[in-house]
């Protein structure tokens, strides 16, 4: 058995099977990073509740714009600042989880047993390059989404496998963006289909968990804040490894289609063993292999 091109549903199915078979490794990576983030978020929520004025301050109609701005900054400035810092920390934490998860999945594809410690450490090492890629891409993505939605979606899809490229190929930020572009260039619509389906699944998971948060707000305020922070953490722990696994499977599928990655692995295996009859028995996870009875994707 060997790697083969996958259809859109097959990529999602392969990601689910990988996630199930390596759940301990992938969810441990997520929990180690995201549980502390949940604790931070809990205290930020408490801080926000304690600093929201119970009654709005009345600003005289004769007040100047500068005075109105000063009142707003005084009332909500600390809350906005802590919220912004929390968002930044959350983005960095999820990037680390995604990089670490991709590292673990790549170990599976290369016939090695993944370890959460080494995968997470490798993901942390690639974080600066990930930040660099984000800083390069954020301006054109923002302009694309603000001026017209379609250019932003197009750029996001073209750069969608940049994290797997960073993790697996160890390229720099600009080179990783270019490499993602090259891999996706002739597969835009199938890649968009995979991303749309995976985001829909993630959205459903988050909606289900949000019902618990909604119910919590019917209770006392303190319990609501605790449950909100808990549900946000659980949602991230469930969703982030799944999306990272989808990106990893998608990345390797693109390499199989464009670069005969399965033959490359076979060649490396033969070269390392010296046995022409040897085959890469686990050059791909079982979920992405095919049998003679499996029809080719449309």
DSSP of 189-218: HHHHHHHHHHHHHHHHHHHHHHHHHHHHTT
146 vs 286: which has the higher pLDDT: 146
> CA neighbours within 13 Å on the CB side: how many for 12?
15
Q: In angstroms, rounded to a whole number, what is the distance separating the alpha carbons of residues 102 and 4? A: 19
What is the DSSP code (8-state) at residue 295? P
Residue 187 has pLDDT above 90, yes or no: yes
Q: Which pLDDT does position 101 carry in this prediction? A: 94
pTM of the predicted model as reported, rounded to 2 decimal places = 0.77
156 in Cβ contact with 194 (< 8 Å): no
Residue 292 has pLDDT above 50, yes or no: no
Rounded to the nearest 5 degrees, what angle is found at the Cα of 193, between the Cα atoms of 187 and 197?
150
Q: 3-state class of 275 per DSSP?
A: coil
Segment 178-187 mean pLDDT:
94
5-9, 58-62, 201-205, 256-260: least confident range: 58-62
Which residues of 176-292 form beta strands (DSSP E)?
A: none
Q: Write the pLDDT tens digit of every residue in 223-237.
A: 566 777 778 888 889
DSSP of 124-147: HHHHHHHHHHHHHHHHHHHHHHHH
Segment 49-75 mean pLDDT:
61
The three-state (H, E, C) secondary structure of 58-119, written as one string: CCCCCCCHHHHHHHHHHHHHHHHHHHHHHHHHHHHHHHHHHHHHHHHHHHHHCCCCCCHHHH
Rounded to the nearest 5 degrees, what angle is found at the Cα of 124, between the Cα atoms of 123 and 127?
90
CB count within 10 Å of CB 181 equals 16
The two three-digit tokens of residue 256, written as one number: 């199989």
Q: Which pLDDT does position 219 carry in this prediction? A: 60
Mean pLDDT of the chain: 79
262 in Cβ contact with 281 (< 8 Å): no
What residue ranges do the domains of the chain occupy?
A: 8-54+68-270
Segment 161-174 mean pLDDT:
92
Q: In angstroms, rounded to a whole number, what is the distance separating the alpha carbons of residues 46 and 34? A: 18
76-80, 183-187, 255-259: least confident range: 76-80
Contacts 24+ apart (CB under 8 A), 47-51: 47/78, 47/79, 47/82, 48/79, 48/82, 48/83, 49/221, 49/225, 51/78, 51/79
CB count within 10 Å of CB 54 equals 4
Residue 213 has pLDDT above 80, yes or no: no
Q: 3-state class of 52 per DSSP?
A: coil
Q: Write the pLDDT tens digit of every residue in 141-154.
A: 988 888 777 888 99
What is the DSSP code (8-state) at residue 186? T
């Amino acid at each position: 058995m060997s790697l083969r091109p996958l259809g859109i549903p097959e990529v999602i199915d392969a990601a689910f099977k990988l996630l199930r078979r390596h759940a301990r490794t992938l969810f441990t990576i997520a929990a180690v990073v995201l549980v502390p983030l949940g604790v931070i978020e809990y205290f930020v929520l408490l801080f926000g509740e304690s600093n929201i004025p119970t009654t709005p301050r009345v600003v005289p109609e004769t007040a100047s714009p500068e005075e109105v701005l000063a009142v707003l900054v005084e009332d909500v400035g600390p809350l906005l600042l802590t919220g912004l810092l929390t968002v930044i920390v959350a983005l960095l934490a999820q990037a680390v989880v995604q990089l670490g998860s991709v590292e673990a999945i790549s170990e599976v594809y290369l016939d090695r047993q993944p370890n959460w410690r080494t995968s997470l450490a490798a993901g942390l090492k690639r974080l600066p390059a990930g930040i660099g890629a984000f800083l390069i891409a954020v301006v054109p993505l923002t302009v694309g989404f603000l001026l017209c939605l379609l250019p932003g979606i197009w750029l996001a899809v073209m750069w969608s496998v940049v994290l797997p490229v960073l993790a697996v190929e160890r390229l720099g930020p600009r080179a990783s963006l270019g490499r993602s572009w090259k891999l996706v260039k002739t597969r835009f619509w199938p890649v968009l289909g995979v991303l749309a389906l995976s985001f829909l699944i993630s959205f459903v998971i988050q909606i289900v968990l949000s019902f618990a948060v909604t119910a919590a707000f019917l209770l006392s305020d303190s319990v609501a804040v605790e449950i909100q922070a808990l549900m946000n953490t659980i949602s991230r722990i469930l969703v982030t490894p799944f999306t990272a696994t989808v990106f990893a499977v998608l990345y390797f599928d693109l390499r199989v289609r464009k670069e005969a990655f399965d033959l490359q692995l076979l060649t490396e295996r033969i070269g390392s063993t010296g046995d022409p009859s040897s085959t890469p028995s686990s050059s791909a996870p079982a979920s992405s292999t095919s049998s003679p009875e499996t029809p080719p994707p449309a």
